[in-house]
Chain A
């Protein structure tokens, strides 16, 4: 049972375009939603995260939109650059368990063409 569903599996975007990756979760006890970025041969690294008390969080070109009622959240990459080409994972966790268990989505491989 996939607790966090992620789509699309892969995405090709032209340089300067907007990349959008979507995730949906089932467990309403989740209250921490990070996005991790992974380059080939490297481990995932935290990109941006949101908690359900806000509907949007922006850091530079990266924005998380959060819809609590729909149990969905998405990552938007504005002005996508070739250096953004990587695999992106959404995840979910619970603050009251000390964030001990991160549940990951299946990943989206993003390719930004020059």
Chain B
């Protein structure tokens, strides 16, 4: 049972480049979400999804897009990377009716 899998683990981008951070879960969880973790700021919610085809914005959505075409996958897209998006990104999933969120191991992104 892999849980929540994020790829890649590390990525360096140049300003203006685009990329997709991948997140997959094999627990058949309805809810998935993306957080970014920055020093001194904890984890902040970027986008979340309550099921396939349904997404919504979190606390810091600007500069990021998401889609949810399947229950398993919830990719996060950076259309034009900026240095302010340098961060560690975590994907999490949760099943309906249960409060516990399961996190992936994170993607460390550096934008130069």
Q: Which of B14-22, B78-86, B103-111 contacts A (4 or more CB under 8 A)?
A: B103-111
Interface window among A52-60, A72-80, A96-104: A96-104
A residues less than 8 Å from B43 (CB atoms): 44, 89, 102, 104
Within 8 A of B (CB), among A19-64: 32, 34, 41-46, 49
Q: Complex formed: what's the CA distance from A66 to B100 in Å?
A: 19
Interface membership of B99, Cβ < 8 A: yes
Looking at the assembled complex, report how far the CB atom of A31 sits from the nearest CB atom of chain B, in whole angstroms. 10
Complex partner residue of A98 from B96, B100, B102, CB under 8 angstroms: B96
* A34 in complex: contacting residue of B45, B50, B99, CB < 8 Å: B99
Interface SS, B side: strand
Alpha-carbon gap, A41 to B10, bound state (A): 11
With A42-B105, A43-B105, A46-B100 as given contacts, are A100 and B31 in contact (CB-CB < 8 Å)?
Answer: yes
- Cα-based distance from A44 to B88 in the complex (angstroms): 12
Residue B40, interface by CB 8 Å: yes
- Chain A residues in 8 Å Cβ range of B4: 43
Residues of chain A at the chain B interface (Cβ within 8 Å): 4, 6, 9, 32, 34, 41-46, 49, 89, 93, 95, 98-107
